[in-house]
A and B are shown apart, each in its own frame.
Chain A
């Protein structure tokens, strides 16, 4: 360790460089092909869902509405209370496992096809192409002096970008404020301050991320690239350049057999670099910048078709498969390795648990809380009374009627109970008192004794306590009964 580390390289030969650089603008060439089509399908699928959902109605209200002010979340037939946040946690865990699984199988599928950053960049680049043309035209336009045509092209692009951004912001807010009333507010310029802020903020974020930040979000902000290596192994399908087949690269005439002129199949047309949205050269191997969009595969396949060479010089392949030690069949067999099977199993189990717990969700919630101020009191006839509060939460959009009784403590009964009606989605505290006759109290002795409350949801609002058999759902909540000394 006595080696002297040279701090400064030879001043005479070393070029001066800033430690900070302004990013070179990437102008990706448009691409079409099998994978590009898949990406566009997913763009359509996710965006029809995102933009369309707020306009869907269900039982006279918006189908998907997250009412933060009232703390009720409506998702089609479901009404969720804040207490149901466990479902959100499960959904996030599910998503994480799905991400692990997809990444292990085929790398950054999410980034390449479904991530909003990719999807909106795709849309914004499509707009850009309509106004400014493809890569060469855009590079030319960038360096051209300002003129009326340039102003028109740029202005048109900006106008459409802003419109898409604002519409996206509007749609985002429409998940929290009913879309139709929000639209009316926009039309009459009576938006609230928070609605205006979030429409503008989300709109601006969309415009900035998809119009300008683009690949820099993936390279500098997104943590996914940094931990993808933890999920990759030698059997993960990644976009790879077949160096054995491609090198030595060099140009040749169409139809000429590469081997006969002592070259590899790669004709060094650099199209794979031109189409890359993150500006890398896939021929240098897997890099953290690669978002797995497969644009280079589409580009290279088209070129190989023209050169009358077989496709797949750049393709989805595992490291083992690319090393040539394994056949294509072996490589695909290894996709079903233990790690993938375990991920799949966990994912299926979690998904089943998620769906089952949602489907079997009780239509109401109940929570019993003892009064803390006074533990017990004596009432008429020497009876001992304890006071409780029950919080009832209606998890449906129908009126509910509840009947409550006590069990598990001999002689205990509710004093003055009448059935409680809860309006749709209402949550309410209801006080209740439990009485114990003196003989029963003496038999039990002083102290805290366990008892249970049975909360029954009656079949319909017209039924009475006597129709207990008709209860469509019931819960039992534990509490204690205190007998003073």
Chain B
């Protein structure tokens, strides 16, 4: 009721509620008074010449039930929020009930997760039950961006290829899920130089991974790459400590080719992995991280 400036509406609603309940009781009592009846068990009312209203009384238990519902309503508005802004004596709120329900579910789920929290990812990845839970968690929470098969798409990293921006150990993955990550590539055009300088650097970057490139431009770009080396390293192999991608592999998260790389140097990019700590419990994140880690492991095994 905080939508209103004065408590007038609250009082109005409280009075209307109580008035309605009292009116129900009065009506019931009034209607139950003994009435004189004609000898033929009719009420004496005649409509349309020959339609007679008969007295077919309600059973008493029915009326008692009716009175009980009215009394129950009084008890209800006393105990629960029902009279305008009154919170009721029980202090019940829908938010409180939701939280209690969530706590109950969390407590029941804690038993399921308990046996998994102490196990390392290596052990969990061999446990079919744990991996089934991990997959369900992944599909419900991660698949929206990373895809149901965890292989991502443009801008959303592939989690199965063993190429990690922030490190691929189970602990690092757990950290990424818990706290989230923000990857920032600043616009570097000014630092690199002219438009042709930027194109040269792009060709040099393509040469790092052995992709088709213009060798002359790449040779010119090599010197300008100094501006990039602070984060991506002199050899362009990146730095997982600050989330700088490896430019020397075949993984192109934000698009392959000269145009895409030039665009990235010119405009930069801020890419966010949101923190899941508030949405998932530590036990869930542990299982999820183990599942994600296992995806990259099987991929590497298969590649060998």
- Check if B151 sits within 8 Å of A17, measured CB to CB: no
A81-89, A174-182, A225-233, A371-379 - the one binding chain B: A371-379
Asked if A351 is an interface residue, CB under 8 A from chain B, the answer is no
- Check if A5 sits within 8 Å of B36, measured CB to CB: no
Q: Mark B224-242, 1 if CB is under 8 A from A, else 0.
A: 0000000000000000000
- Complex CA gap A284/B46 in Å reads 23
Cβ contact of A376, chosen from B46, B55, B62, B153, cutoff 8 A: B153
Q: Which of A367-386 contact B (CB under 8 A)?
A: 371-374, 376-380, 385
Chain A residues with CB under 8 Å of B154's CB are 374, 377-378
Q: Can you name the residue of chain B whose Cβ is closest to the Cβ of A212?
A: B61
B72-80, B135-143, B167-175, B183-191 - the one binding chain A: B135-143
- Check if B139 sits within 8 Å of A389, measured CB to CB: yes
- Check if B39 sits within 8 Å of A14, measured CB to CB: yes
A20-28, A47-55, A114-122, A445-453 - the one binding chain B: A20-28
Chain B residues with CB under 8 Å of A21's CB are 57-60
Q: Can you name the residue of chain A whose Cβ is closest to the Cβ of B255?
A: A378
- Check if A5 sits within 8 Å of B46, measured CB to CB: yes
Chain B residues with CB under 8 Å of A2's CB are none
A353 → chain B, closest Cβ, in Å? 36
B134 → chain A, closest Cβ, in Å? 12
Cβ contact of A6, chosen from B31, B46, B57, B58, cutoff 8 A: B46
- Check if B61 sits within 8 Å of A371, measured CB to CB: no
- Check if B145 sits within 8 Å of A373, measured CB to CB: yes
- Complex CA gap A16/B61 in Å reads 20
- Complex CA gap A378/B250 in Å reads 13
B298 → chain A, closest Cβ, in Å? 10
Cβ contact of B60, chosen from A6, A20, A380, cutoff 8 A: A20
A164-172, A328-336, A426-434, A462-470 - the one binding chain B: A426-434
Count the A residues whose beta carbon is within 8 Å of the partner chain — how many?
39
Q: Which of B20-55 contact A (CB under 8 A)?
A: 31-39, 43-47, 49, 55
Chain A residues with CB under 8 Å of B149's CB are 387, 431-433
B272 → chain A, closest Cβ, in Å? 15
Asked if A194 is an interface residue, CB under 8 A from chain B, the answer is no
Known: A373-B145, A389-B148. A17 touches B35 (CB 8 A): yes
- Check if A11 sits within 8 Å of B36, measured CB to CB: yes
- Check if B59 sits within 8 Å of A220, measured CB to CB: yes
- Check if A431 sits within 8 Å of B57, measured CB to CB: no
Cβ contact of A7, chosen from B45, B57, B63, B146, cutoff 8 A: B45
Among A6, A220, A374, the most chain B Cβ lie within 10 Å of the Cβ of: A374
- Complex CA gap A8/B153 in Å reads 84
- Check if B39 sits within 8 Å of A17, measured CB to CB: no
Chain B residues with CB under 8 Å of A22's CB are 59-61
Cβ contact of B136, chosen from A374, A378, A429, cutoff 8 A: A429
Chain A residues with CB under 8 Å of B271's CB are none
- Complex CA gap A46/B139 in Å reads 47
- Check if A5 sits within 8 Å of B45, measured CB to CB: yes
B159 → chain A, closest Cβ, in Å? 12
Cβ contact of A431, chosen from B37, B47, B49, B139, cutoff 8 A: B139
Asked if A19 is an interface residue, CB under 8 A from chain B, the answer is yes
- Check if A16 sits within 8 Å of B35, measured CB to CB: yes
Cβ contact of B32, chosen from A18, A388, A431, cutoff 8 A: A18
- Check if B57 sits within 8 Å of A371, measured CB to CB: no
Q: Mark A231-256, 1 if CB is under 8 A from B, else 0.
A: 00000000000000000000000000
Cβ contact of A14, chosen from B33, B37, B62, cutoff 8 A: B37
Asked if A15 is an interface residue, CB under 8 A from chain B, the answer is yes
Asked if B113 is an interface residue, CB under 8 A from chain A, the answer is no
Asked if A356 is an interface residue, CB under 8 A from chain B, the answer is no
- Check if A17 sits within 8 Å of B148, measured CB to CB: no
Q: Can you name the residue of chain A whose Cβ is closest to the Cβ of B66?
A: A20
- Check if B46 sits within 8 Å of A9, measured CB to CB: no
Further contacts, 12 of them, CB under 8 A, given A7-B45, A388-B148, A389-B148: A14-B44, A19-B32, A19-B57, A21-B58, A21-B60, A22-B59, A371-B147, A374-B153, A377-B151, A378-B256, A431-B139, A433-B151
Interface residues of B (CB under 8 A from A): 31-39, 43-47, 49, 55, 57-63, 132, 135-136, 139, 143-154, 156, 250, 256
Question: 24 A-B contacts, Cβ less than 8 Å apart?
Answer: A5-B46, A5-B47, A6-B44, A9-B44, A14-B36, A14-B38, A16-B34, A17-B34, A18-B32, A18-B33, A20-B32, A20-B60, A22-B59, A220-B59, A371-B148, A373-B144, A374-B154, A378-B154, A388-B148, A389-B139, A428-B132, A429-B136, A431-B143, A433-B151
Interface residues of A (CB under 8 A from B): 3, 5-11, 13-23, 216, 220, 371-374, 376-380, 385, 387-389, 428-429, 431-433
The 8 closest A-B pairs by CB, nearest first: A374-B153, A431-B148, A377-B153, A9-B44, A14-B36, A22-B60, A431-B149, A9-B38
